[in-house]
Amino acid sequence: MAELSTFPARLFRTCFLLLLPALLAAGEPRPAPALVVPDLQGKAYSLAALKGKVVLVDFWASWCGPCRKSLPFLDQLQARYGAKGFQVVGVALDQEISSVQEFLERTPVHFPILSDTVGKSAEAYGVVAMPTSFLIDAEGRIVARFEGGENLKAEEAAVVALIEKGLPTGAGDHRVAAGLQATGSLKAWQRGHLADPIMSLDGDRLTSLFREHIHASKEGAAGNGGASGGGCGCN
């Protein structure tokens, strides 16, 4: 009887030991996918050239409301830590480069902005929410992921820890709720084009007034829908 009573414990230990290598591997940084994307002048920019630096790759779009807050913040990070071997790289996912250029005229930044109009780089990185930033260490490995532009303080703390200690202490992955992620054939960077036009933060104010509480979709209610709107429409 004593031997039988210890069977569950022995079974648990055996299963744990078998799974331990996989659990440890899951927590290890993974190599960042290759990234070769043209800048706004059409010149190819390669992430591989930045090996040896701590890099933050930020996927964003001009229509994304949170990006209007996160990009200036990332520009501040570049100014604070650039001299310590840190580099921000922005990847705009707008289908029209002109939209990116207009955004940057209003919100200028001092780090490279690349333009991926078809979203291949975003697919390679598994982007499902806008914006999404990936923190990459000096060896070219992804060590943290930040979605939605809502964890800016945690993002900076991870950058500082990686620069000073070589590890983003406690960074982990900061993800939006599953219900806010793009799924299926819909891509996160296409939402600004697929949802109701009232979603646009730069929408016509007269239209917003007349349609203040009339939304064709849940996404529309999150956007430029008068007093009840104001979100980016990307959720």
The domains of the chain, with CATH numbers, are 30-178 (3.40.30.10), 195-228 (no CATH)
Token pair belonging to 54: 């701590």
C-alpha distances in Å from residue 232, one per residue of 7, 43, 100, 116, 151: 55, 30, 16, 20, 16
| Per-residue confidence (pLDDT) for residue 233, from 0 to 100 | 44
Give the number of other CB atoms < 10 A from CB of residue 221.
18
| Per-residue confidence (pLDDT) for residue 170, from 0 to 100 | 62
Amino acid at residue number 79: A
Q: pLDDT in tens for each of the 235 residues of the chain? A: 444 446 554 554 444 334 333 333 345 678 999 999 999 999 999 999 999 999 999 999 999 999 999 999 999 999 999 999 999 999 999 999 999 999 999 999 999 999 999 999 999 999 999 999 999 999 999 999 999 998 899 999 999 999 988 876 567 788 888 877 888 788 898 876 554 444 455 555 565 555 554 444 444 445 554 444 444 444 4
Burial of 225 (0-12, 13-18, 19+ CB in 10 A): buried
Say which residues have a Cβ less than 8 Å from residue 154's Cβ, sequence separation at least 6. 146, 171, 174
What residue has token string 């923190």? 135
